[in-house]
Amino acid sequence: MHPRHKPRELTRTGHAAWSLTPYVPAGDPFMAPDDFPAAVAFFEQRIVFGYSANRPQRLWFSKSANVQDMTTGTGDSDGFTKDIFARQANPIRWVVGGTDLVVGTTGGIWVVDRPASSPVTVSNFTIKRRITAGADDRDPAEVDNRVLYIERRGNSSSRGRELRDMRFDDAESQFVAAHLSLVSDHVIDTGVAEMVWQEQGWAGAYQGTDLEAIDRVLWCARGDGVLASFTYDPQELVSAWARQVTDGAFESVTVIPGANGDEVWCVVRRTINGTTVRYVEFFDPSLFLDSALTGSAGSPEVTWSGLDHLEGETVSILADGSPVGTKTVSAGAITLDVAASAVQIGLSFTPELELMPLELALEDGTSIGAAKSVARVVLRFLNTIGIQATASSRTAGFEIPFRRVSDDVAQPIPPFTGDKELPAPTSWSDATVKITQPNPLPATILAVVMEMEAHR
């Protein structure tokens, strides 16, 4: 859909067989340029269109079970149109067809209402505004019985900065729209360009050890090229924002069902060897480098080629499971200092986790501004190697040892699951913990436990 173009129908009949043709249904209402719609959804075996320049608050419904026929009539299976009448003329921005038909307008969210267990027809159709927080034109995401949408907010410089969760609250017997980005609004403060939901992640592997999959993530491509992720599971009281920064810019993101779970695919703009390029890349949880390739050989090799897409770039290398530093790609290849049978080669990045400053409830108030001392900091890991951590943002990271005496020194360090104690500084005035992963290795932190005293 695009309000300045007639609707198109994209058809795929094979991996390399695609066609894009004008949508020309029977009873076509979209003949003139100002009548072209901008929103579309499927709902109860009908196709539903919304908004045109001439009719910004109109919905068009096809015939039941026939999305190629927009002929209107008075019968239950006929197509029909409905206009949203409100005190303000707020244009339709999107339409979502789930259990209910939800319509996002700039002045609020509207929901189709009809008798219980009855299909929508021209004779029983009513639509009511349920939420007053209006919608931006970014496509929303359907999550369980919820609709996650970007709230309309002021002018273009402040758009796409607030995420809402619209759902029906049984306790309150009404629709609500919680503000999901309130406590971490800096993560999407530059605005969301597009977003997509990943229901089921897929697990990776490292040196024969399975790595945990991350499920239920909303991926948000920001306008400045940063990719924001929102892990969201309200049943488990989980809501967590993070940012993914790469050597370049994430321009678009989508999710494609794969053999092992939902795959996250991105269009990434990079500057390679002085030239701007765009790559289609996907997240592989078994790889710990960006724009990376893997290679294997029957016998150890020193020279590894096939890296033309990273020509002239400094790349990091994981050789036979161990980090071996960096090399510069020349003529599409690198030469290792020591031969290896299997490699990962790509652009490095540094995952970073910094906890909020710890606060305690004291008898005479809080620990804010009080003198603090820490006895212990314990980190709980799952399949992790190579972490650096510090119990103060003022001190350098401490590299936590993971190799054990019983390990074979000729083999990579095996992933560790369990607890490690972090040396605590004598002065801990900022009361925070910072954890980084400087190596292209797996890292999962399950918990950070601190023992601290505060005195006024």
Range 137-143 average pLDDT? 94
Choose between 365 and 5: higher pLDDT.
Answer: 5
Over residues 72-112, the pLDDT tens digits come to: 999 999 999 999 988 888 999 999 998 899 999 999 999 99
For residue 149, is pLDDT > 70?
Answer: yes
Choose between 280 and 171: higher pLDDT.
Answer: 280
Indicate the pLDDT class of residue 454, thresholds 50, 70 and 90: confident
Range 169-190 average pLDDT? 91
Over residues 187-213, the pLDDT tens digits come to: 998 999 999 999 999 889 998 899 989
Over residues 288-327, the pLDDT tens digits come to: 999 999 999 999 999 999 999 999 999 999 999 999 999 9
pLDDT of residue 158: 54
211 backbone dihedrals φ, ψ, rounded to 5°: -105, 150
For residue 6, is pLDDT > 70?
Answer: yes
| Of residues 268, 289, 288, the one with CA closest to residue 280 | 268
pLDDT of residue 398: 81
pLDDT of residue 393: 61
Indicate the pLDDT class of residue 427, thresholds 50, 70 and 90: low
Instruction: Determine the Cα–Cα distance for residues 41 and 104; give it in Å rounded to an integer.
Output: 12
- Close Cβ partners of 91 (under 8 Å, ≥ 6 residues apart): 51, 56, 57, 105, 106
pLDDT of residue 455: 74
- Close Cβ partners of 190 (under 8 Å, ≥ 6 residues apart): 161, 222, 223, 224, 226
* Residue-range domain boundaries for the chain: 1-135, 293-347, 352-455
- Close Cβ partners of 14 (under 8 Å, ≥ 6 residues apart): none
Over residues 377-424, the pLDDT tens digits come to: 899 999 999 999 887 666 667 888 898 888 888 889 999 999 998 876
For residue 154, is pLDDT > 80?
Answer: no
Record the pTM.
0.92
pLDDT of residue 431: 66
Over residues 7-34, the pLDDT tens digits come to: 999 999 999 999 999 999 999 999 999 9
Instruction: Determine the Cα–Cα distance for residues 215 and 212; give it in Å rounded to an integer.
Output: 10
> Mean pLDDT of all residues in the chain?
91
Instruction: Return the bridge partners of 173, or none.
Output: none
Indicate the pLDDT class of residue 365, thresholds 50, 70 and 90: confident
Indicate the pLDDT class of residue 71, thresholds 50, 70 and 90: very high
For residue 370, is pLDDT > 80?
Answer: no
**Tokens at residue 379, please?**
């980190």
CA distances from 249 to 33, 228, 268, 279 (A): 35, 12, 6, 10
How many residues does the structure list for the chain? 456
Indicate the pLDDT class of residue 42, thresholds 50, 70 and 90: very high
Instruction: Return the bridge partners of 304, or none.
Output: 334
For residue 135, is pLDDT > 90?
Answer: yes
